[in-house]
């Protein structure tokens, strides 16, 4: 990272298993998973990450958010021991927390390398852009732990790859690599591992070149299109234009 990047210890104290970095020059915020070697996602961490996304969304100095890792693996997923005694309501809350990138009005990029399993895959699917490398491995191995994948995650994956591929991946707890994920339309770009940071930086610069207000309105429009059936009345589009006009 360039010297202009500051670790926001004061803004987000006591973070569990991750840190937040801000670049004033780049209008960029990085959420960096930092619990080596596998970056297991704790219950506390999920809740904190949700709060961080909400804070960054409200910060006018931040225009683009990147979720990445400081190690060789994005994350192997949840700490399974924590989930043994979790109630259905608690599990649903965890799924809500992992969906925070989708609710964020700003573009969110997931830079995936190494393991990206379970909850980490859910988190990445909630981002707007996913970049994978030849080391990246994706999986939803919930069945191996006697669990089921989160509903929101399953719905997102189904829209990306269809029911046939989804059943093949989920019901068999299959692990797919970055090339296959790109071929299936799960990831935006596939790059060699040594170029992950530079390609991520280039995508950030590209997104920063757009005016932030219509960009956020566009993200909302596209999310609404994904979440709602076609009505033919153009109301979603009208709402998008109203949002731009009200922000201007």
Q: Give pLDDT tens digits for 2-29.
A: 333 344 444 687 999 999 999 878 899 9
CATH number of 5-209: 3.90.226.10
- Mean pLDDT of the region 233-242: 56
Mention every residue, 6+ apart, whose C-beta is less than 8 A from residue 48: 12, 15, 16, 18
Bridge partners, residue 189, by sequence: 131
**How far apart (Å, rounded) are the C-alpha atoms in residues 162 and 125?**
15
DSSP per position, 159-204: HHHHHHHHHHHHTTT--EEHHHHHHTTS-SEEE-GGGHHHHHHHHH
φ/ψ region of 113 (left if φ > 0, alpha if ψ in -120 to 50, else beta) reads beta
Instruction: End-to-end CA distance of the chain: give it in Å, rounded.
Output: 33
85 and 124 Cβ atoms separated by less than 8 Å: no
Output the pLDDT for position 11: 65
Interval 84-137: pLDDT, tens: 677 777 778 888 999 999 999 999 999 999 999 999 999 999 999 999 999 999
**How far apart (Å, rounded) are the C-alpha atoms in residues 7 and 10?**
8
Higher pLDDT, 227 or 231: 227
Output the pLDDT for position 92: 80
Residue 141, phi then psi, degrees to nearest 5:
-90, 35
Which strands sit side by side in the sheet containing 18-23, from one edge to the other? 5-7, 18-23, 28-33, 64-69, 108-111, 129-133, 189-191
């Amino acid at each position: 990272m360039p010297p202009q990047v500051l670790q926001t210890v004061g803004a987000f104290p006591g973070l569990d298993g991750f840190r937040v970095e801000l670049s004033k020059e780049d209008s960029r915020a990085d959420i960096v998973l930092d619990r080596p070697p596998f970056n297991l996602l704790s219950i506390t961490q999920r809740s904190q990450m949700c709060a961080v996304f909400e804070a960054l969304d409200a910060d006018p100095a931040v225009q683009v958010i990147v979720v990445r890792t400081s190690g060789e693996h994005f994350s192997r997923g949840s700490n399974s021991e924590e989930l043994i005694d979790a109630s259905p309501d608690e599990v649903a809350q965890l799924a809500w927390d992992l969906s925070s990138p989708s609710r964020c009005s700003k573009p969110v990029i997931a830079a995936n390398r190494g393991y990206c399993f379970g909850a980490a895959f859910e988190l990445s699917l909630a981002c707007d852009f996913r970049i994978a490398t030849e080391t990246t491995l994706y999986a939803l191995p919930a069945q191996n732990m006697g669990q089921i994948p989160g509903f929101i995650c399953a719905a997102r994956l189904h829209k990306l790859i269809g029911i046939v591929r989804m059943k093949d991946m989920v019901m068999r707890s299959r692990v797919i690599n970055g090339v296959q994920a790109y071929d299936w339309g799960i990831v935006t770009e596939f790059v060699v591992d040594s170029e992950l940071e530079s390609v991520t930086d280039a995508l950030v610069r590209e997104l920063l070149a757009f005016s932030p207000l219509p960009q956020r309105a566009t993200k909302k429009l596209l999310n609404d299109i994904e979440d709602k059936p076609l009505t033919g009345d153009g109301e979603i589009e009208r709402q998008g234009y109203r949002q731009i006009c009200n922000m201007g």
